[in-house]
Structure 1
Amino acid sequence: MIDFTTEQMAKAEKLLRHIPGAAPAAMARAINRATESARTAAARKVRETYFIRHKDVTDTLKLRKATPTSLSASIVSSGSVIALTTFRVSPKSPQPQKAANVRWKNGKAFKIVARVKRGEGGPIKSAFVAKMQSGHVGVFKRVGTDRKPIDQFYGPSVPQMLGNPSVSDWVNEKAKETMGQRLDHEINRLLEANR
Protein backbone atom coordinates (compact mmCIF):
# COMPACT_ATOMS: atom_id res chain seq x y z
CA MET A 1 0.00 0.00 0.00
CA ILE A 2 1.34 3.43 -0.95
CA ASP A 3 -0.08 6.44 0.88
CA PHE A 4 0.78 10.09 1.35
CA THR A 5 2.07 11.45 4.63
CA THR A 6 -0.01 14.03 6.51
CA GLU A 7 2.64 16.64 5.65
CA GLN A 8 2.43 15.91 1.91
CA MET A 9 -1.37 16.15 1.94
CA ALA A 10 -1.27 19.42 3.89
CA LYS A 11 1.28 20.86 1.44
CA ALA A 12 -0.86 20.02 -1.60
CA GLU A 13 -4.02 21.40 0.00
CA LYS A 14 -2.29 24.64 1.03
CA LEU A 15 -0.66 25.34 -2.34
CA LEU A 16 -3.74 24.37 -4.41
CA ARG A 17 -6.51 25.67 -2.10
CA HIS A 18 -7.56 28.33 -4.65
CA ILE A 19 -8.21 25.69 -7.38
CA PRO A 20 -11.35 23.60 -6.67
CA GLY A 21 -10.65 19.86 -6.55
CA ALA A 22 -7.00 20.33 -7.56
CA ALA A 23 -5.30 18.91 -4.45
CA PRO A 24 -6.98 15.47 -4.56
CA ALA A 25 -6.47 15.26 -8.34
CA ALA A 26 -2.75 16.11 -8.02
CA MET A 27 -2.29 13.59 -5.22
CA ALA A 28 -4.09 10.84 -7.14
CA ARG A 29 -1.95 11.40 -10.24
CA ALA A 30 1.24 11.49 -8.17
CA ILE A 31 0.45 8.31 -6.28
CA ASN A 32 -0.48 6.47 -9.49
CA ARG A 33 2.81 7.44 -11.15
CA ALA A 34 4.69 6.34 -8.03
CA THR A 35 2.83 3.02 -8.04
CA GLU A 36 3.69 2.37 -11.70
CA SER A 37 7.31 3.27 -10.96
CA ALA A 38 7.30 0.94 -7.94
CA ARG A 39 6.04 -1.94 -10.11
CA THR A 40 8.97 -1.45 -12.51
CA ALA A 41 11.41 -1.08 -9.62
CA ALA A 42 10.08 -4.24 -7.95
CA ALA A 43 10.57 -6.32 -11.09
CA ARG A 44 14.07 -4.92 -11.56
CA LYS A 45 15.08 -5.54 -7.93
CA VAL A 46 13.72 -9.11 -7.97
CA ARG A 47 15.79 -9.79 -11.10
CA GLU A 48 18.88 -8.34 -9.41
CA THR A 49 18.36 -10.82 -6.55
CA TYR A 50 16.97 -13.92 -8.33
CA PHE A 51 17.52 -15.67 -11.66
CA ILE A 52 14.05 -14.97 -13.09
CA ARG A 53 12.68 -13.29 -16.21
CA HIS A 54 11.16 -9.81 -16.02
CA LYS A 55 7.87 -11.07 -17.52
CA ASP A 56 7.59 -13.84 -14.91
CA VAL A 57 7.56 -11.12 -12.25
CA THR A 58 5.38 -8.49 -13.92
CA ASP A 59 2.72 -11.04 -14.92
CA THR A 60 1.95 -11.56 -11.22
CA LEU A 61 1.61 -7.85 -10.39
CA LYS A 62 -1.76 -6.11 -10.32
CA LEU A 63 -2.19 -2.39 -9.61
CA ARG A 64 -5.07 -0.80 -7.80
CA LYS A 65 -4.95 2.89 -8.67
CA ALA A 66 -5.79 5.89 -6.55
CA THR A 67 -8.64 8.28 -7.36
CA PRO A 68 -9.29 11.82 -6.08
CA THR A 69 -11.79 10.31 -3.62
CA SER A 70 -9.57 7.38 -2.56
CA LEU A 71 -5.98 8.53 -2.15
CA SER A 72 -4.23 5.20 -1.82
CA ALA A 73 -2.91 2.70 -4.31
CA SER A 74 -1.51 -0.77 -4.03
CA ILE A 75 0.50 -3.34 -5.92
CA VAL A 76 -0.51 -6.95 -5.28
CA SER A 77 1.42 -9.99 -6.42
CA SER A 78 -0.26 -13.36 -6.51
CA GLY A 79 1.10 -16.70 -7.59
CA SER A 80 2.29 -20.05 -6.34
CA VAL A 81 5.74 -21.58 -6.15
CA ILE A 82 7.56 -21.77 -9.47
CA ALA A 83 9.07 -24.83 -11.14
CA LEU A 84 12.82 -24.89 -10.59
CA THR A 85 13.45 -24.94 -14.36
CA THR A 86 12.14 -21.35 -14.50
CA PHE A 87 15.36 -20.31 -12.78
CA ARG A 88 18.96 -21.09 -13.79
CA VAL A 89 19.27 -24.84 -14.14
CA SER A 90 21.87 -26.87 -15.99
CA PRO A 91 21.03 -28.89 -17.97
CA LYS A 92 17.61 -27.38 -18.79
CA SER A 93 16.38 -30.33 -20.83
CA PRO A 94 16.31 -34.11 -20.33
CA GLN A 95 19.68 -35.72 -21.03
CA PRO A 96 20.51 -39.27 -22.05
CA GLN A 97 21.85 -41.34 -19.20
CA LYS A 98 25.48 -41.27 -20.27
CA ALA A 99 28.71 -40.47 -18.55
CA ALA A 100 28.76 -37.22 -20.56
CA ASN A 101 25.69 -36.13 -18.62
CA VAL A 102 27.53 -36.36 -15.32
CA ARG A 103 29.52 -33.34 -14.14
CA TRP A 104 32.17 -33.46 -11.46
CA LYS A 105 32.79 -31.16 -8.52
CA ASN A 106 35.33 -31.81 -5.78
CA GLY A 107 35.62 -35.41 -6.94
CA LYS A 108 31.87 -36.05 -6.64
CA ALA A 109 29.49 -36.78 -9.50
CA PHE A 110 26.24 -34.84 -9.90
CA LYS A 111 23.81 -34.22 -12.72
CA ILE A 112 21.81 -31.09 -11.99
CA VAL A 113 23.04 -27.64 -10.94
CA ALA A 114 20.41 -25.08 -9.89
CA ARG A 115 20.71 -21.43 -8.96
CA VAL A 116 17.60 -19.59 -7.79
CA LYS A 117 19.18 -16.66 -5.97
CA ARG A 118 22.24 -14.86 -7.25
CA GLY A 119 25.38 -15.94 -5.43
CA GLU A 120 23.71 -19.11 -4.12
CA GLY A 121 22.82 -22.59 -5.32
CA GLY A 122 24.72 -25.57 -6.62
CA PRO A 123 24.32 -29.27 -7.37
CA ILE A 124 21.20 -31.19 -6.33
CA LYS A 125 21.83 -34.75 -5.26
CA SER A 126 19.80 -37.44 -7.06
CA ALA A 127 17.92 -34.92 -9.24
CA PHE A 128 17.12 -35.30 -12.92
CA VAL A 129 15.37 -33.30 -15.65
CA ALA A 130 12.32 -34.93 -17.23
CA LYS A 131 9.61 -33.98 -19.68
CA MET A 132 6.06 -34.86 -18.65
CA GLN A 133 3.30 -35.98 -21.04
CA SER A 134 1.84 -32.46 -20.77
CA GLY A 135 5.07 -31.11 -22.24
CA HIS A 136 6.21 -29.54 -18.95
CA VAL A 137 9.93 -29.90 -18.27
CA GLY A 138 10.95 -29.98 -14.61
CA VAL A 139 13.61 -31.05 -12.15
CA PHE A 140 12.55 -34.14 -10.23
CA LYS A 141 13.73 -36.71 -7.69
CA ARG A 142 12.52 -40.20 -6.98
CA VAL A 143 10.57 -40.61 -3.75
CA GLY A 144 11.67 -44.20 -3.15
CA THR A 145 13.77 -46.85 -4.83
CA ASP A 146 11.25 -47.44 -7.65
CA ARG A 147 11.01 -45.33 -10.80
CA LYS A 148 7.80 -43.78 -9.50
CA PRO A 149 6.51 -41.77 -7.71
CA ILE A 150 8.64 -38.68 -8.33
CA ASP A 151 8.57 -35.22 -6.74
CA GLN A 152 9.27 -31.97 -8.52
CA PHE A 153 11.63 -29.29 -7.22
CA TYR A 154 10.29 -25.74 -6.95
CA GLY A 155 11.69 -22.30 -6.30
CA PRO A 156 9.93 -19.53 -4.39
CA SER A 157 6.81 -17.77 -5.66
CA VAL A 158 7.06 -14.18 -6.93
CA PRO A 159 5.19 -12.93 -3.81
CA GLN A 160 7.85 -14.65 -1.68
CA MET A 161 10.63 -13.01 -3.70
CA LEU A 162 8.97 -9.60 -3.38
CA GLY A 163 8.63 -10.21 0.35
CA ASN A 164 12.39 -10.60 0.73
CA PRO A 165 13.33 -7.58 2.92
CA SER A 166 16.20 -6.64 0.59
CA VAL A 167 13.60 -6.29 -2.19
CA SER A 168 10.54 -4.92 -0.36
CA ASP A 169 12.40 -2.31 1.71
CA TRP A 170 14.22 -1.00 -1.37
CA VAL A 171 11.00 -0.80 -3.42
CA ASN A 172 9.14 1.01 -0.61
CA GLU A 173 11.91 3.61 -0.36
CA LYS A 174 11.90 4.15 -4.12
CA ALA A 175 8.10 4.52 -4.13
CA LYS A 176 8.17 7.15 -1.36
CA GLU A 177 10.94 9.07 -3.12
CA THR A 178 9.10 9.00 -6.45
CA MET A 179 5.80 9.99 -4.84
CA GLY A 180 7.32 13.11 -3.28
CA GLN A 181 8.89 14.13 -6.60
CA ARG A 182 5.69 13.46 -8.56
CA LEU A 183 3.57 15.40 -6.08
CA ASP A 184 5.81 18.46 -6.49
CA HIS A 185 5.58 18.05 -10.27
CA GLU A 186 1.77 17.78 -10.23
CA ILE A 187 1.39 20.78 -7.92
CA ASN A 188 3.65 22.91 -10.12
CA ARG A 189 1.83 21.77 -13.27
CA LEU A 190 -1.56 22.80 -11.87
CA LEU A 191 -0.23 26.10 -10.56
CA GLU A 192 1.25 26.92 -13.99
CA ALA A 193 -1.99 25.99 -15.75
CA ASN A 194 -4.06 28.23 -13.45
CA ARG A 195 -1.99 31.41 -13.46
Structure 2
Amino acid sequence: MLKLNVHADVKGITAGLTRYVGEQQKAVVRALNKTAMQARTAASQEVRAAGYNIKASAIKSSFTIQKASRGKLYVMLKSTGRPIALINYSARQGKNGVTVNVKNGRKVFRHAFIATMQNGHRGVFERTGKTHKKVVKNGKTIRSGLPIKELFGPSIPQSLANDAVEKAIMAKIRQKFPQILKHELAFLASKR
Protein backbone atom coordinates (compact mmCIF):
# COMPACT_ATOMS: atom_id res chain seq x y z
CA MET A 1 0.00 0.00 0.00
CA LEU A 2 1.41 3.37 -1.01
CA LYS A 3 1.06 6.50 1.10
CA LEU A 4 1.46 10.17 0.32
CA ASN A 5 1.72 12.73 3.10
CA VAL A 6 1.67 16.35 2.03
CA HIS A 7 4.03 18.32 4.24
CA ALA A 8 4.45 21.94 3.37
CA ASP A 9 6.17 24.95 4.83
CA VAL A 10 3.07 26.79 6.00
CA LYS A 11 4.78 28.64 8.87
CA GLY A 12 3.87 31.92 7.22
CA ILE A 13 0.21 30.96 7.39
CA THR A 14 0.20 29.44 10.87
CA ALA A 15 2.87 31.58 12.61
CA GLY A 16 0.42 33.74 14.52
CA LEU A 17 -2.20 31.11 15.32
CA THR A 18 -1.04 30.68 18.94
CA ARG A 19 -2.06 34.28 19.71
CA TYR A 20 -5.70 33.27 19.37
CA VAL A 21 -7.32 32.14 22.60
CA GLY A 22 -10.73 30.93 23.67
CA GLU A 23 -13.43 31.52 21.07
CA GLN A 24 -10.95 32.78 18.51
CA GLN A 25 -9.13 29.46 18.66
CA LYS A 26 -12.41 27.80 17.76
CA ALA A 27 -12.45 29.88 14.56
CA VAL A 28 -8.88 28.79 13.75
CA VAL A 29 -9.78 25.12 14.19
CA ARG A 30 -12.85 25.47 11.98
CA ALA A 31 -10.85 27.32 9.33
CA LEU A 32 -8.14 24.63 9.29
CA ASN A 33 -10.70 21.84 8.92
CA LYS A 34 -12.62 23.63 6.16
CA THR A 35 -9.36 24.33 4.32
CA ALA A 36 -8.49 20.61 4.49
CA MET A 37 -11.82 19.71 2.89
CA GLN A 38 -11.24 22.24 0.12
CA ALA A 39 -7.67 20.95 -0.38
CA ARG A 40 -9.06 17.43 -0.86
CA THR A 41 -11.43 18.71 -3.55
CA ALA A 42 -8.61 20.69 -5.18
CA ALA A 43 -6.45 17.54 -5.21
CA SER A 44 -9.17 15.67 -7.06
CA GLN A 45 -9.53 18.46 -9.61
CA GLU A 46 -5.77 18.83 -10.13
CA VAL A 47 -5.16 15.11 -10.64
CA ARG A 48 -7.83 15.02 -13.31
CA ALA A 49 -6.52 18.28 -14.85
CA ALA A 50 -3.04 16.70 -15.04
CA GLY A 51 -4.56 14.14 -17.40
CA TYR A 52 -5.07 11.12 -15.14
CA ASN A 53 -8.22 9.18 -15.99
CA ILE A 54 -9.30 8.50 -12.38
CA LYS A 55 -12.78 9.10 -10.99
CA ALA A 56 -13.09 12.09 -8.67
CA SER A 57 -14.94 10.01 -6.08
CA ALA A 58 -12.09 7.47 -6.00
CA ILE A 59 -9.54 10.23 -5.40
CA LYS A 60 -11.57 11.80 -2.60
CA SER A 61 -12.21 8.46 -0.90
CA SER A 62 -8.48 7.68 -0.86
CA PHE A 63 -7.91 10.52 1.63
CA THR A 64 -8.05 10.37 5.39
CA ILE A 65 -8.14 13.67 7.22
CA GLN A 66 -6.81 14.09 10.74
CA LYS A 67 -8.72 17.15 11.84
CA ALA A 68 -7.47 20.03 13.93
CA SER A 69 -8.54 20.60 17.52
CA ARG A 70 -7.85 23.29 20.12
CA GLY A 71 -4.81 21.38 21.33
CA LYS A 72 -3.61 20.50 17.82
CA LEU A 73 -3.59 23.45 15.45
CA TYR A 74 -2.77 21.53 12.28
CA VAL A 75 -4.51 19.23 9.83
CA MET A 76 -3.04 16.19 8.09
CA LEU A 77 -4.26 14.97 4.71
CA LYS A 78 -3.08 11.46 3.86
CA SER A 79 -3.79 9.56 0.66
CA THR A 80 -3.31 5.79 0.54
CA GLY A 81 -4.04 3.24 -2.11
CA ARG A 82 -2.79 0.42 -4.24
CA PRO A 83 -2.08 0.57 -7.96
CA ILE A 84 -5.32 0.61 -9.96
CA ALA A 85 -6.02 -2.28 -12.33
CA LEU A 86 -5.73 -1.26 -16.01
CA ILE A 87 -9.26 -2.54 -16.68
CA ASN A 88 -10.47 0.58 -14.80
CA TYR A 89 -8.75 2.91 -17.27
CA SER A 90 -11.27 2.43 -20.12
CA ALA A 91 -9.58 -0.75 -21.39
CA ARG A 92 -10.57 -1.96 -24.88
CA GLN A 93 -9.50 -5.11 -26.67
CA GLY A 94 -8.23 -4.53 -30.21
CA LYS A 95 -6.43 -6.44 -32.94
CA ASN A 96 -3.02 -5.31 -31.74
CA GLY A 97 -3.62 -5.79 -28.01
CA VAL A 98 -5.38 -3.76 -25.35
CA THR A 99 -5.64 0.03 -25.36
CA VAL A 100 -6.07 1.99 -22.13
CA ASN A 101 -6.45 5.67 -21.28
CA VAL A 102 -4.28 6.18 -18.20
CA LYS A 103 -2.93 9.68 -18.84
CA ASN A 104 -3.30 12.05 -21.80
CA GLY A 105 -4.52 9.67 -24.48
CA ARG A 106 -4.72 5.98 -25.22
CA LYS A 107 -1.76 3.64 -24.98
CA VAL A 108 -1.47 0.18 -26.59
CA PHE A 109 -0.23 -2.87 -24.67
CA ARG A 110 0.65 -5.13 -27.62
CA HIS A 111 0.70 -8.55 -25.98
CA ALA A 112 -2.07 -7.92 -23.45
CA PHE A 113 -5.59 -9.29 -23.45
CA ILE A 114 -8.79 -8.82 -21.45
CA ALA A 115 -10.01 -11.89 -19.61
CA THR A 116 -12.53 -12.86 -16.95
CA MET A 117 -11.23 -15.29 -14.32
CA GLN A 118 -13.26 -18.19 -12.94
CA ASN A 119 -14.07 -16.17 -9.80
CA GLY A 120 -15.61 -13.41 -11.99
CA HIS A 121 -12.69 -10.96 -11.72
CA ARG A 122 -12.14 -9.12 -15.00
CA GLY A 123 -8.79 -7.58 -15.87
CA VAL A 124 -6.07 -6.83 -18.40
CA PHE A 125 -3.44 -9.60 -18.44
CA GLU A 126 -0.28 -10.56 -20.27
CA ARG A 127 1.50 -13.88 -20.55
CA THR A 128 4.77 -14.33 -18.66
CA GLY A 129 7.51 -16.89 -19.04
CA LYS A 130 8.60 -18.82 -22.09
CA THR A 131 7.59 -22.37 -21.34
CA HIS A 132 4.19 -23.96 -21.19
CA LYS A 133 3.12 -25.67 -17.99
CA LYS A 134 2.31 -29.36 -18.11
CA VAL A 135 -1.01 -30.08 -16.46
CA VAL A 136 -2.78 -33.40 -15.90
CA LYS A 137 -6.48 -33.30 -16.87
CA ASN A 138 -8.63 -36.43 -16.91
CA GLY A 139 -5.54 -38.61 -16.70
CA LYS A 140 -3.89 -36.98 -19.71
CA THR A 141 -0.88 -34.71 -19.59
CA ILE A 142 -1.50 -31.56 -21.61
CA ARG A 143 0.33 -28.29 -22.07
CA SER A 144 -1.51 -25.27 -20.69
CA GLY A 145 -1.17 -21.63 -21.63
CA LEU A 146 1.71 -19.67 -20.26
CA PRO A 147 1.40 -18.17 -16.78
CA ILE A 148 -0.33 -14.78 -16.82
CA LYS A 149 -0.12 -11.66 -14.67
CA GLU A 150 -2.51 -8.76 -14.29
CA LEU A 151 -1.39 -5.28 -15.36
CA PHE A 152 -1.83 -2.19 -13.19
CA GLY A 153 -1.64 1.58 -13.67
CA PRO A 154 -0.55 4.28 -11.21
CA SER A 155 -2.09 4.49 -7.75
CA ILE A 156 -3.83 7.64 -6.54
CA PRO A 157 -0.90 8.63 -4.26
CA GLN A 158 1.45 8.30 -7.26
CA SER A 159 -0.73 10.65 -9.30
CA LEU A 160 -0.86 13.10 -6.37
CA ALA A 161 2.95 13.06 -6.15
CA ASN A 162 3.13 14.82 -9.52
CA ASP A 163 4.98 18.16 -8.97
CA ALA A 164 2.35 20.25 -10.76
CA VAL A 165 -0.43 18.68 -8.68
CA GLU A 166 1.42 19.26 -5.38
CA LYS A 167 2.16 22.91 -6.22
CA ALA A 168 -1.46 23.56 -7.19
CA ILE A 169 -2.76 22.01 -3.95
CA MET A 170 -0.38 24.07 -1.80
CA ALA A 171 -1.28 27.25 -3.69
CA LYS A 172 -4.96 26.54 -3.00
CA ILE A 173 -4.25 26.04 0.71
CA ARG A 174 -2.23 29.27 0.96
CA GLN A 175 -4.96 31.18 -0.88
CA LYS A 176 -7.99 29.77 0.95
CA PHE A 177 -6.86 29.53 4.58
CA PRO A 178 -6.60 33.30 5.26
CA GLN A 179 -9.97 33.89 3.56
CA ILE A 180 -11.72 31.17 5.55
CA LEU A 181 -10.09 32.29 8.82
CA LYS A 182 -11.23 35.88 8.22
CA HIS A 183 -14.76 34.63 7.55
CA GLU A 184 -14.81 32.45 10.71
CA LEU A 185 -13.53 35.31 12.89
CA ALA A 186 -16.18 37.65 11.43
CA PHE A 187 -18.83 35.01 12.16
CA LEU A 188 -17.73 34.78 15.82
CA ALA A 189 -17.68 38.58 16.13
CA SER A 190 -21.24 38.79 14.78
CA LYS A 191 -22.48 36.38 17.47
CA ARG A 192 -21.31 38.61 20.35
Give the TM-score band, short-chain normalised. 0.7 to 0.9
Question: Which residues in structure 2 correspond to 1:7-156 (within 5 Å)?
Answer: 9-10=15-16, 13=19, 21-48=22-49, 49-91=51-93, 101-102=94-95, 110-119=96-105, 121-145=106-130, 146=132, 147-156=145-154
Q: Deviations for 1:125-150, whole angstroms, at most 9, x for unmatched residues?
A: 11100111222211111113432311
Task: Report the equivalent of 1:98.
Answer: none
Alignment partner of 2:16: what SS?
A: helix
Q: Among all aligned residue pairs of Structure 1 and Structure 2, give the percentage whose two residues are the same amino acid.
A: 31
Q: Tell me the C-alpha RMSD between the 2 structures.
A: 2.2
Alignment gaps of 5+ in structure 2: 1-6, 133-144
Offset, 1:29: 0.6
Q: For 1:151-170, what aligned pairs fall within 5 Å after superposition? A: 151-170=149-168
Alpha-carbon distance between aligned partners in 1 of 2:79 and 2:31, rounded to the nearest angstrom: 22
Shift of 1:22: 2.2
- Contact kept, 8 Å, 2:90 with 2:101, in 1: the verdict is yes
Normalising to structure 1: TM-score of the pair?
Answer: 0.79
Residue type matched to 1:30 in 2? Answer: A
Letter in 2 for 1:152: E
Could you tell me how far apart the structure 2 residues matched to 1:71 and 1:55 are? 28
Report runs of 4+ in structure 1 exceeding 6 Å deviation.
none
* CA deviation after TM superposition for structure 1 residue 3, in Å: 7.9
Structure 2 residue identity aligned to 1:69:
G
> Equivalent residue for 2:189?
191
TM-score scaled to structure 2, two decimals?
Answer: 0.80
Secondary structure at 1:176's aligned position in 2? helix
> Which amino acid is the alignment partner of residue 60 of structure 2?
T
Give, in angstroms, the shift of residue 2 of structure 1: 6.9
CA distance in 2, matches of 1:122, 1:3: 37
Distance in 1 separating the partners of 2:9 and 2:32: 7
Once residues 54 and 89 of structure 2 are traced to their aligned partners in structure 1, the CA distance between those partners, rounded to angstroms, is 6
- Tell me the SS of whatever aligns to 1:118: coil
| Match of residue 136 from structure 2 | none
Q: Which amino acid aligns with 2:125?
A: F
**Equivalents in 2 of 1:58, 1:7: separation in Å?**
25
Q: Secondary structure at the match of 1:117?
A: coil
